[in-house]
Amino acid sequence: MAPRHAASSLLALSLVALLAPARANRTCAVDNFPVVDNFDKERYLGKWYAVSKKDPEGLFLQDNISADYTLDDDGNLVATSRGRVKLFGFWEACADMVASYIVAKPEVKSKMFMNYQGLASYLSSGGDDYWVIDTDYDSYAITYSCRSRDEEGLCADGYSLVFARTPRGLPPGTQRIVRARQDELCLLGHFTPVLQNGACP
């Protein structure tokens, strides 16, 4: 039994040695993050429900987050979003947002700039990058936004959302895909579940 145990240990160490350089050489620079190729905005339309999120600094939607995507007269994506937000540390309310999306470079249609506006005076407005990291259009989508970068090109303040087509969550088999994409964003372990209990219909 001892030789077999030694061989197993040697194999495990060899695998670690092979995988370590790949992980060490991976960069977390924002511009190196992969995004969807040949993004199809028509297939992306419709209702999406957030199932997990990585928050940015400051005020952000808390739970019951959904977004409904349509096209404007110019063929650009627009969205109406809703979610529960906590204000002043104790007051919870359902907040409505509207956003419009412009493709920055036609050759990379999944990288957009989002202009958003809260539909209440206490909500913020502004603009963020909106990148579609991955989607199969029918069951899941992963989006990413970086609000500021440091001198090395790493994200100093950003957020990410994992969406599903149903408030019941992701279908079986997609969790592995989602975890792989979160790892590529250098955000594995930074996401929290998003409650969907119908509080903001």
Average pLDDT, the chain: 87
**Burial profile 53-81: b = 16 or more Cβ within 10 angstroms, e = fewer:** bbbbeeeebbbbbbbebeeeeeeebbbeb
| Structural domains in the chain plus CATH codes | 26-193 (2.40.128.20)
Question: What local confidence, expressed as pLDDT, does residue 122 receive?
Answer: 62
Model pLDDT for residues 134-159, shown as the tens digit of each residue: 999 999 999 999 999 999 999 999 99
For the chain, what percent of residues have pLDDT higher than 90?
74
What is the DSSP secondary-structure string of 142-169? EEEEEEEE-TTS-EEEEEEEEEESSTT-
Rounded-to-integer distance, Cα 58 and Cα 160, Å: 14
Question: What local confidence, expressed as pLDDT, does residue 201 receive?
Answer: 87
**Locate tokens 């909106």: which residue?**
130
Residue 187: strand, helix, or coil: coil
**pTM of the full predicted structure?**
0.84
Q: Where would I find the H helices in the chain?
A: 2-25, 41-44, 175-184
Average pLDDT over every residue of 6-13: 41
Model pLDDT for residues 11-66, shown as the tens digit of each residue: 344 433 433 344 444 689 999 999 999 999 999 999 999 999 999 998 789 999 99
Judge whether 129 and 24 are in contact, CB under 8 Å: no
Residue count (the chain): 201
Judge whether 111 and 102 are in contact, CB under 8 Å: no
